[in-house]
Structure 1
Amino acid sequence: MTFYTLQYLQNHRDVNQILLYVLGGLGAIILVVALWLYLKNRFETKYRDLSIIMVLLMLLLFGLNYSTLEQHKSQSLSSAQVEPFLRSVAREKGIKVADVAINSTTLTDGSIVKIKNKYYRVALSTDRSSYTLERTHVIAKKITVKKGA
C-alpha cells in the first residue's frame, strides 16, 4: 500500500504541469523555425513539407493535451482538496504536516490516513466540508510512503 505526503502531492502536480508546458513550447518553437525557413526559401519544398508536418504534429499534440488537460483539471480540483485536509488533520492531532500521509491522491470517502504509525479511515460528509477519523488496522505488510524531494 502506498501513502503520499503533502509535499509529494504538491511536487508531483507541479512536475506534470511543467512537462506539458515544455512540450508545447518546444513544438511551437520548431513550428516557428520551420515556417520561417519556408518563407525565407520558398523554392525549397523540404521546408514547406517540414512546416506541414509540424502543423499536423502540433494539432495532434494540442488535441491530446486538451484531453489530458481536462482530465488533469478535474484531478487537480480533487487533489486540491487533499492539501487542506492533511493540514487540518495535522493541526487537529498537534503534529507536523510531514507526519501525515494519505493512500490516495484525491480525497475520497474511505481513504486511509497514516498519522505517524497509526492508521485512520476517513468518513466524509456529503458536502465534503467535514470528516471523521476512525482508527483502523492495515493488513498489507508492505507499506511505502512517498515523500517529496
Structure 2
Amino acid sequence: MTFYTYSYLTTHHSTWQYARIGLLIALLIVFIGLFVHYLRNQWNVKYKDLSIITATLLLLVLGLQINSLVSLQSATKQTGQITATVQQVAKQLKVKPGKLSINATTTGSDLLVKSPKGYYRLDYNSDGSAFVLEKITLENPEITLVKE
C-alpha cells in the first residue's frame, strides 16, 4: 500500500512540463532560423522542407503541451481537495499536516490516513461533504511512503 506525505501532495510538480517548454523554445528557434535561411536562399528547397518538418514537430509538441497542461490543471484541482482533507484530519487529530500521510492523491472512497497516532479510515457521508475518522488496525501492512 502506498501512502503520500503532505509535502509530496503540496509540492508535486511535473518536471516534464519544463522539458517540453524547453523543447518548444528550441524548435521555435530552429524553425525561425531555417525559415529565415530559406527566405534568403529561395532557390535552395531543402531549407523549405526542413522548416516545414520543424513546424510540424513544433505543432505536435505544442499540442502535447496543451493537453498536458489541461491534465495538470485537473490534477492540481484534485490535489487541492485532498490537501484540504488532510488539513481537516490534522485539525481533528491535533497534529501538524506534515506528519500525516494518505493513501491517495485524489479524493474518493477508501481513504486511509497514517498518523503518529495510528491508522485511520475516512468514512464520507452520502454527498461527500463531511467525514468521520475511524481508527483501524492494519494486518500485515506493507507500506511504501512517497516523499517529496
Q: What TM-score, normalized to structure 1?
A: 0.80
Quote the residue 1:5 is aligned against: 5
SS of the equivalent of 1:25 reads helix
* 2-structure distance, mates of 1:29, 1:91: 51
Give the 3 Å change call, closer, same or farther, for CA 84–21 of structure 1 in structure 2. farther
Q: CA deviation at 1:33?
A: 3.0
Which residue of structure 1 lines up, in the alignment, with residue 82 of structure 2?
A: 82
What are the Cα deviations for residues 10-34 of structure 1, in whole angstroms up to 9, with x where unaligned? 3323535434433433333333333
In 2, distance between residues paired with 1:70 and 1:100? 29
Moved over 6 A (4+): none
Task: Summarize the Cα distance change of 1:27–1:120 in structure 2 as closer, same or farther, 3 Å threshold.
Answer: farther
Which one is further off, 99-108 or 46-55?
A: 46-55
- Cα distance in 2 for partners of 1:117, 1:27 equals 53
Find the residue that maps to 1:81 and give its secondary structure.
Answer: helix
Please show how residues 17-32 of structure 1 align to structure 2 within 5 Å.
Answer: 17-32=17-32
Can you list the C-alpha shifts for 1:88-135, whole angstroms capped at 9, x where unaligned?
Answer: 222222212221011111111211111126111112234443222112
Equivalents in 1 of 2:28, 2:127: separation in Å?
Answer: 42
1:44-83 map, 5 Å: 44-83=44-83
Q: Quick one: percent identity of the two aligned structures?
A: 32
SS at 2:3's partner residue?
strand
Alignment partners' CA distance in 2, 1:140 and 1:49: 62
Whole-Å separation in 1 of the counterparts to 2:27 and 2:136: 49
Alignment check: 8 A CA contact 2:3 2:143 kept: yes
Farther off after superposition, 52-61 or 69-78: 69-78
User: Which stretches in structure 1 are left out of the alignment for 5+ residues?
Assistant: none
2:119 aligns to what SS in structure 1? strand
The root-mean-square deviation of aligned C-alpha atoms, in Å, is 2.4
Deviates more, 1:116-125 or 1:13-22: 13-22
* Bigger radius of gyration among the two: 2
